[in-house]
Amino acid sequence: MDNLQNKLIKNFKEKGLAEYPLEWLGNYRLDAINAAESLGVPDLSNEDWRFTSLKEFIKKDFSFFDGKAETYNKPKLPEHIKSIDGYFVYMHNGQLVSDSDYPFSLTRLNDSFEDLKVKEILLNEVSSKNKDFFYELSCAFIDDGFFLKLEGSNRLDKPIVIINSFDSDVDSKFVNTRNIFYFEESSSAEIIEYSVSESVNEFFLNKTSIVYVDQNARVEHLLVEDGNKNSFIFSNLKIVQGRDSHFTTNSILSGGQLIRNNVHPILNGEGCFSNILGLYLSSEDQLMDNYMFVEHLKPHCESTQLYKGLLNDESRGVFHGRILVHKEAQKTNAYQTNRNLLLSDKAQVDTKPQLEIYADDVKCSHGATIGQIDKEALHYLQARGINKDKAMLMLIKAFTDEVCEPMESEVLLEAFHNIVNDWFVKSELLEPENQE
């Protein structure tokens, strides 16, 4: 039987995806499938994948999902998500199903290929770095997803809340989706992306988001993967920043059997700031692989990375953080921190911080820690009359809360705390009545 790579390439050819009325798009897809075939599914000999084996994954029998959402019922959401006062955008099985009016432009991606800005974004990529098999696969099968544009100087009064739901129609399927965000000069927005799955069966989600943050624009982003623990999720988030722009992204990962979370900020304008935050919450036999690639192209920019892992049972975590400072990017400040807390003797984590610097006037640092609950701190709290379970919870919450401290949006901060508390309850670290 063909492995997954060969099967998907065969699906591409059978669907005739390179044969498209827009010649540039057909060529784009064809170049991408050729690149994917050349690269191949990464194995442990690939330095960027040295801690995550896909040997069993490529034996899976996933086939390309090209169904349409004929009927759609809004998914059941936690109260702390559905009660948010925001502009709700609904995606179902990788396809845009919202039909509301918004104070921003929102169209299906496959209805936007004739838009010159979409063509420019896809064809004129700022960086050729950090392209692996799954990114090229996303380009080859590009069709579903959306194009969201916020006009210049427009500052949204409430967050965009994107709900990604999946049902049994995608069981044993490969779902490919691409979202493009374009925030014009001096615009401002907050985004919450929340993924939920009604199915308990296996599926393969390959998702890519490209975020363009133009000159002097400000965007704060919260991504939550809280879906099916039998799913395989490969996520690419690429951010291109213009001069004096500010971008913050915070990821909370709790769903998925295997998650590959690839975040690639490209600081492409002087004076821009990028804040990359994340919390991976793993249990049972989950594997969460985080690959951060922060690329400084221009001078006088600053980036910070803070990723934390909370690992229970027999789960595994990976953090590979890379900072690349190009020769032109003088006066760069770049900081990277990874901290991990193991709640079980059988949980494990691999961490690899990495600096690659070609400029000579920079301030860069990195650090990583792996440990268990601090026994001295635990004893200190118990000596003051706090029982052991509550004392442990206080230390764990202090550990997770640091990840959200750089965030400015009160709405996103509240969502962060509610989502993490919800995981504490599900993991039996916190009683439901004690969530406050």
Residue 62's nearest CA partner among 140, 3, 15 is 3
Query: Beta partners for 1?
Result: none
Residue 43's nearest CA partner among 34, 56, 54, 35 is 54
Tokens of 427: 């993991």
Distance CA(399)–CA(238), nearest Å, equals 27
Distance CA(144)–CA(141), nearest Å, equals 9
For residues 234 and 257, the answer to whether their CB atoms sit within 8 Å is no
- The pTM of the full predicted model, rounded to 2 decimals, is 0.95
For residues 205 and 233, the answer to whether their CB atoms sit within 8 Å is yes
The confidence score (pLDDT) of residue 27 equals 96
The confidence score (pLDDT) of residue 289 equals 98
Query: For 25, what's the count of Cα atoms within 13 Å in the CB-facing half-sphere?
Result: 19
Helix (H) and strand (E) counts in the chain: 8, 20
Mapping DSSP onto H, E and C, the string for 107-162 reads EEHHHCCCCHHHHHHHHCCCCCCCCCHHHHHHHHCCCCEEEEEECCCCECCCCEEE
Residue 92's nearest CA partner among 12, 172, 150, 177 is 177
Distance CA(417)–CA(404), nearest Å, equals 8
Distance CA(369)–CA(194), nearest Å, equals 29
The confidence score (pLDDT) of residue 2 equals 61
Distance CA(87)–CA(139), nearest Å, equals 28
The confidence score (pLDDT) of residue 1 equals 39
Determine the distance from the C-alpha atom of residue 314 to the mean position of all C-alpha atoms in its chain, rounded to a whole number. 23
Provide CB contacts within 8 A for 178, sequence distance 6+.
Answer: 109, 138, 142, 143, 144, 145, 207, 208, 209, 210
Provide CB contacts within 8 A for 33, sequence distance 6+.
Answer: 9, 12, 17, 18, 136, 137, 140
Tokens of 325: 């400072």
The confidence score (pLDDT) of residue 139 equals 97
For residues 274 and 283, the answer to whether their CB atoms sit within 8 Å is no
Mean pLDDT by 10 residues, the chain (436 residues): 84 92 96 96 95 95 84 87 96 91 96 96 90 95 97 97 94 96 98 92 96 98 92 97 98 96 97 98 96 97 97 96 97 97 95 95 95 89 88 92 94 95 85 57
The confidence score (pLDDT) of residue 282 equals 95
